Amino acid sequence: MKRISELVKFLKDPHAKRVQQHKGRYQELDDLSNIAIEIGDEMAYKSLQSELREVFFDYTTAIVVDSIYKLVPHVLIIWLISLKWPTITVPFVDWKVNILGFYLLSYMIFHLGKLLAKPIMTALSKLRIFGFVRATNKI
């Protein structure tokens, strides 16, 4: 079971360890660079800055690759849907909408709904509307 959960974590975010390693190394080099400034060691500062640039570019590369890995499933989904339905007709106004626009709009609405769900549920529970009452353990 533990291996399955590790596999799911890896498939969900395959470059997380690499990004965290580069981020940690960048912060470490930045701290060392600040110490070199405080003690006035110019050669150490220049050396640390050149290594800092290399780590920064490795970090940005890992982030870009991670972003591509997150984008690929959406491109495949759009491609598969567009094979069957290239356009979708909006029912009441008879507008023809491209599947790409529909997918992007539904994706944004989904994430906006997830973002707004918690504040709305909190407000409803405070107002005690529609049976949204917080459970309290008063024993």
Instruction: Tell me the per-residue pLDDT of 102-125, one tens digit each, with 9 for 90 and over.
Output: 888 888 999 999 999 888 888 777
Specify the pLDDT at position 127.
75
- Mean pLDDT estimate for the chain: 84
Q: Residue 87 belongs to what H/E stretch? A: strand 87-90
- Residues of the chain with pLDDT > 90, as a percent, come to 32
- Residue 111 structure tokens: 């994430």
Phi/psi for 89 (5° steps) reads -95, 125
Whole-number pLDDT of residue 112 = 94
Find tokens 């491609």 and name the residue.
Answer: 79
What tokens were used for 135?
Answer: 């459970």
51 vs 129 pLDDT, higher one: 51
Interval 81-98: pLDDT, tens: 889 888 888 888 888 888
The model's pTM is 0.57
- Residue 27 CA, chain-centre distance (Å), reads 21
Q: Where are the domains of the chain?
A: 1-77, 85-139
- How many angstroms from the chain centroid is the CA of residue 42? 38
The percent of residues in the chain predicted with pLDDT above 70, rounded, is: 87
Mean pLDDT lowest among 2-11, 53-62, 79-88, 115-124: 2-11
Q: Residues 15, 21, 24, CA angle at the centre, nearest 5°?
A: 135
Check residue 92 and give its pLDDT: 86
